[in-house]
Amino acid sequence: MKTKIILFLILIFAFSLRLYGINWDQGFHLHPDERMLIMVADRINFFKNLNPDFFNYGSLPIYLLKGSAQLIGQVFKKNLANYADMLDIGRKMSVFFDLVVILLIYKISRLLFTKEKIALLSSFFYTIIFFAIQNSHFFVVDVPLNTFITGLIYTSLVYLKSPSIKKMVIISVLFAAMMATKFTALIFSPVILLVIFFVNKYSWKRVIIHFFIFVFLFLSFYYLFMPYAFIENKRFINDIKQQLTMNSNPYIFPYTLQYVGTLPYLYYLKNIFLWGMGPIISILSITGLLSLRAKRSNLFLFLIFYFFYFLIVGRSAVKFMRYMLPLYPFFAILAGYGLYQIQKLKFKSQNYNSKLKSFFTFNFSLKLLPFAFLLLTFLWTLMFVNIYSQPNTRISATDWIIKNIPAGSTLAIEHWDDGLPLYGGENYKFEELTLYDQPDDEAKWQILNEKLKKTDYIIIASNRLYVPLQKLSDCKKYKSCYPKTAEYYQKLFNNQLSFKKVAEFSSYPQLKIGPPAGGWKFEINDDSADESFTVYDHPKIIIFKKNG
């Protein structure tokens, strides 16, 4: 009973963290992937038109969003299945999916280690991992995909312990849901087949029966969840090919140039350690991993699922942080186990090596060490959640533009980024700076310089362009290079052009104690994080004004 109460409190806490600041962009649809998914959902209708005409992502999340919006609208006698209202519904669906992940983490951890304490610690660590919280603030396919993958792993572990046709049915449906959410879920198919063979290796008849059930039900439910992958198969294949090409070639789209020259595996791990989980949970995860003794088949299978995923996805050329979201339950479970092992070492040190106590000043007892870890991880998360206590920087910048830039002024905005101002744009003239264009030569900059001559203000709405384009200045090293654009940014930021910075808007993770005008503040600059970690909910905005 005590365990259930603690787990319930963890879920309530998780719900609060994920719901806090859920309307972070005040309905402006500032996440491009979320925006696209809602646009697709807006044009379908149950049961008049189910063709999404879009296969970059799977159809199941889109159907779930539209179906939920129509159903809730029927209950409340209100049209909620529209572009504006589906934003809130979609984000709350993400919250629900992530709460299910927490429950599954508890079940997986208890199944692996049989210790309620480890299971509760694992659930708590996932609850306060900021990257999970952040993604629950978006309606993106990676959140339900994470839920389906975690569900598949739990069901596979249960199947390993006690195989049955019922569990194989669940595995088939979950895999179909994964594939109908994101095509890259295909990488789990070899592991599923390995499980079927391993569990039933002493009976070829059972291997064949379970394999047939898996294939038949997977195809049946995949068709149910994503029918137009079959009906519009040519379009589906072409869209998938384009996505696979993007993952192997960072030069293919402007917004993937940030990954040129980044190291496979290490780039992901760096962002997970520093930003996704933070150093403390990351260290506890490493401790848990090093403490494992994978002698039991269920623990070995658990490791195989996640290591196989990291091995395949980690080598991709394009490395959006969200691609690693399915690994965060794994890290949370390892962190729970790691802290449990540290606590066990505590008791040994008290019995056999009392000298360890001298390392802790102010009579800080070793007994309090686990609580110190929990407190520090909570404070780390609180710093990042504080981002949602402040106005979104794009909205703040828009308010400043409307108030301080005279109507009729010409604003230069960068292409491939959300332009500013978000509203009131009819009061201004605009010049689009096509900075990604190739080749980066005199002809390109003759056009851009003419645009800059007409410009009164330059609006840089995020680091989406200036970070990768300054890096790609060496034409001997990179296929697409931007020496002149890099020089332009360097001169602009060093006040060597006819523009000077007049405003900057940033929202960094922080802790603050005391009055708003003063007090103590500790802030972390996360500009070095993967662009996708900052560009949606807290990008840095810089505004330059022409001199004179």
Please, which residues have CB within 8 angstroms of residue 337's CB and are 6 or more apart in sequence?
109, 113, 118, 121, 122, 288, 291, 292
Whether the upstream peptide bond of residue 359 has omega within 30° of 0, thus cis, is: no
Provide the token pair at 259.
């990954």
Q: Using alpha carbons only, what angle is made at residue 302 by residues 289 and 283, rounded to the nearest 5 degrees?
A: 20
Give the three-state DSSP class for 505: strand
Q: What is the pLDDT of residue 363?
A: 42
Average pLDDT score, the chain = 93
Q: Any idea where the domains of the chain sit in the sequence?
A: 2-386, 393-546
Are 68 and 93 spatial neighbours (Cβ–Cβ below 8 Å)? yes
Q: What is the pLDDT of residue 362?
A: 41
| Per-residue pLDDT at 214 exceeds 70 | yes
Q: For residue range 412-445, list pLDDT tens digits in order.
A: 999 999 999 999 999 999 999 999 999 999 999 9
| Per-residue pLDDT at 517 exceeds 70 | no
Provide the token pair at 468.
């990768």
Q: For residue range 156-178, list pLDDT tens digits in order.
A: 999 999 999 999 999 999 999 99
| Per-residue pLDDT at 514 exceeds 90 | no
Q: Which residue has the tokens 């645009």?
A: 451
Give the three-state DSSP class for 514: coil
Are 37 and 62 spatial neighbours (Cβ–Cβ below 8 Å)? yes
Say how many residues make up the chain. 548
| Per-residue pLDDT at 128 exceeds 90 | yes
* Range from 192-201, 367-376, 429-438 that averages highest in pLDDT: 429-438
Closest residue by Cα to residue 7 from 99, 97, 136? 99
For residue 431, the surrounding DSSP H or E stretch is strand 429-433
Closest residue by Cα to residue 221 from 177, 156, 165? 177
Question: Alpha-carbon distance 121 to 117, whole Å?
Answer: 6
The neighbouring-strand residues paired with 460 are 542
Q: What is the pLDDT of residue 247?
A: 83
Rounded to an integer, the average pLDDT of 259-269 is: 96
Provide the token pair at 172.
């088939």
Confidence of residue 521 (pLDDT cuts 50, 70, 90): confident
User: Between 279-291 and 116-128, two packed helices, what is the crossing angle to 10 degrees?
Assistant: 150
* Per-residue burial over 354-377, b = 16 or more CB atoms within 10 Å of its CB, e = otherwise: eeeeeeeeeeeebeebbeebbeeb
The single-letter code of the amino acid at 520 is W
Q: What is the pLDDT of residue 520?
A: 80
Closest residue by Cα to residue 43 from 58, 30, 62? 62
Are 37 and 57 spatial neighbours (Cβ–Cβ below 8 Å)? yes
The single-letter code of the amino acid at 113 is F
Rounded to an integer, the average pLDDT of 525-544 is: 97
Q: What is the pLDDT of residue 208?
A: 94
Q: What is the pLDDT of residue 168?
A: 97
Provide the token pair at 354.
């009392």
Question: Alpha-carbon distance 61 to 463, whole Å?
Answer: 30
Rounded to an integer, the average pLDDT of 328-334 is: 98
Question: Alpha-carbon distance 533 to 282, whole Å?
Answer: 17
Q: What is the pLDDT of residue 365?
A: 53
Higher pLDDT among residues 521 and 147, named by residue: 147
DSSP 411: E
Confidence of residue 361 (pLDDT cuts 50, 70, 90): very low
Question: Alpha-carbon distance 82 to 255, whole Å?
Answer: 28
| Per-residue pLDDT at 360 exceeds 50 | no
Closest residue by Cα to residue 13 from 387, 288, 382, 392? 382
Rounded to an integer, the average pLDDT of 359-377 is: 68
Q: What is the pLDDT of residue 366?
A: 55
Q: For residue range 457-508, list pLDDT tens digits in order.
A: 999 999 999 999 999 999 999 999 999 999 999 999 999 999 999 999 999 9
Q: What is the pLDDT of residue 52?
A: 95
Rounded to an integer, the average pLDDT of 362-382 is: 77
User: Between 279-291 and 369-385, two packed helices, what is the crossing angle to 10 degrees?
Assistant: 140
Question: Alpha-carbon distance 309 to 323, whole Å?
Answer: 10
User: Between 142-161 and 85-113, two packed helices, what is the crossing angle to 10 degrees?
Assistant: 30
Rounded to an integer, the average pLDDT of 408-415 is: 97
Question: Alpha-carbon distance 396 to 392, whole Å?
Answer: 6
For residue 289, the surrounding DSSP H or E stretch is helix 279-291
Q: What is the pLDDT of residue 427?
A: 96
Question: Alpha-carbon distance 310 to 176, whole Å?
Answer: 21
* Per-residue burial over 402-437, b = 16 or more CB atoms within 10 Å of its CB, e = otherwise: beebeeebbbbbbeebbebbbeebeebeebebebbb
Please, which residues have CB within 8 angstroms of residue 462's CB and are 6 or more apart in sequence?
417, 418, 531, 534, 535, 539, 540, 541
Q: What is the pLDDT of residue 352?
A: 47
Confidence of residue 518 (pLDDT cuts 50, 70, 90): low
Are 329 and 105 spatial neighbours (Cβ–Cβ below 8 Å)? yes
Give percent above pLDDT 70 in the chain: 95
Give percent above pLDDT 90 in the chain: 86
Q: How far is CA 257 from CA 2, 184, 251, 531, in A?
A: 51, 21, 6, 11
Question: Alpha-carbon distance 80 to 93, whole Å?
Answer: 14
* Range from 198-207, 261-270, 364-373 that averages highest in pLDDT: 261-270
Rounded to an integer, the average pLDDT of 196-202 is: 89
| Per-residue pLDDT at 244 exceeds 90 | no
Higher pLDDT among residues 275 and 242, named by residue: 275
Q: What is the pLDDT of residue 367?
A: 64
Please, which residues have CB within 8 angstroms of residue 152's CB and are 6 or more apart in sequence?
171, 174, 175, 178, 188, 192
Is-above-0.75 flag for pTM?
A: yes
Question: Alpha-carbon distance 310 to 308, whole Å?
Answer: 5
